[in-house]
Amino acid sequence: MGRPQVVPGSSEPAARFAPLAGIRVLDLTVALAGPYATLLLGALGAEVIKVEAPGGSDVARFNPPFSCSRGVHFAGPLHPDDISITMLARHRNKRRITLDLKTDEGVAVFKELTARSDVVVENLRSGAADRLGVGYEALRAVNPRLIYCSLTAFGPDSAHGDTGMDVTVQALSGLMFITGEPGEPPMRVGIPVGDLVAPLFATIAMLSALRQRDTTGQGQHLEASMLDGLTSLVAMEHLDVLTEFGLPIRTGNSLSRMGPFGCYRCADGYISIAAPQDTWCASLFGAMGMPELQTDPRFLTHGDRVINGRQLDSLIESWTSTLPAAEVSDRLRRLSVPHGVVRDPREALEDPATGRSGAVHSLIDARSGRQIGKTGGLPVTFSAGQLADQPAHVTGEDTAAVLAEVLRLPAAEIEQLRERRVI
């Protein structure tokens, strides 16, 4: 066997090299959107330092269920060692310190950390960072190379206010309006997609800004909002054009303009089928044992199938409903018809493929070493690198170590900060 590949500019073998090794991130985020962005940076190998007020200031710490020495429960944080499973999932790959930014000493320590860091990420209420003295202008003064990223619900100075939740953003973006069955009320998407899309865009922006800094030597202020992120995705569907031509934009489980394209009942569940191309549709008719449909005037062309979509969906479901989903899938797979059995989340999370890609990880309570379940990861692989996956620490666990390592503060000074409740 040959020697391990070495990444250019590093003495470390590729198998141990993290893409963002050497990048330090200060994390002032709460809830989901901000912590998800820093989770991604941590998975890429950045040193992420999560900063909270003494005692904890992330609102997600009250999210049930909770893990403690008794196991997992929904009763509320009634036990001294209760910790929200939400916190265990969102704060993996991070060091966690406490620092009171409502004190002059706390802000001074934060600025010293900023001077030795590359990125600050915050999703506080509009203007809160500036009022605390840790806004972009204040921190740029101590580190002109700083990349400062602000995540918001609606963007700066929005008429919608400065407080938003995923469900309100889905409503404002138009996504909720187009989701659901025709003639029925709008429906929320089943996962907090607004909270998850904005940090993806923010992470792209931060990586791009770091690359630009390599050239210019200067940092910058980035802003990403949940509303902008979701609205940009809704705009990709050209729904205004569909409306102009009288096509429905709330289509439920089917999409007539791409038909056959939808979700169909089976004898023991459901299956999704997408066969808009003529060749796929012909193969579908063959799998159904109804090749004569290829010459049926109602379904000859894609346009015909759009016009007669309801009749076509009815014929497909009259076939799928008589068979187990696995058998329908087997017949479609043999003929290369795009399809997917509708799985419940537990089945999806146990798929070996998602584990290999890094999309799903075991969720570990580091205090007990107990595996609680599954959680999301960064679903990409690097041929010359390795992503991080470290269990979440508890609030403030790394305060003394970070102040000693990064700021070189002596133990006595750290203890004085603790006594004055700065940390």
Neighbour tally for 108: CB within 10 Å: 12
Burial per residue of 2-39, b for 16 or more beta-carbon CB atoms within 10 angstroms, e otherwise: eeeeebeeeeeeeeebbbbbebbbbbbbbbbbbbbbbb
Neighbour tally for 86: CB within 10 Å: 21
Task: Tokens for 361, please give them.
Answer: 């990880």
Residue 284 and residue 271 in contact, taking contact as beta carbons nearer than 8 Å: no
**DSSP per residue, 261-304:** EEEEE-SSSEEEEE--SHHHHHHHHHHTT-GGGGG-TTSSSHHH
Residue of 82, 118, 195, 313 marked active site: 195
Torsion of CA 397, 398, 399, 402, to 10 degrees: 180
- Kindly report the CA angle at 72 between 71 and 76, in degrees rounded to 5? 115
All residues at 6 or more sequence positions from 205 whose CB lies less than 8 Å from its CB, including other chains? 149, 222, 224
Q: Known catalytic residue: 118?
A: no
> In a 3-state reduction of DSSP, which class is residue 33?
helix
Instruction: Provide the sign of the torsion angle of the four alpha carbons 348, 353, 358, 361, taken in this order.
Output: positive
Residue 25 and residue 47 in contact, taking contact as beta carbons nearer than 8 Å: yes
Residue 258 and residue 303 in contact, taking contact as beta carbons nearer than 8 Å: no
Tell me the catalytic residues: 195
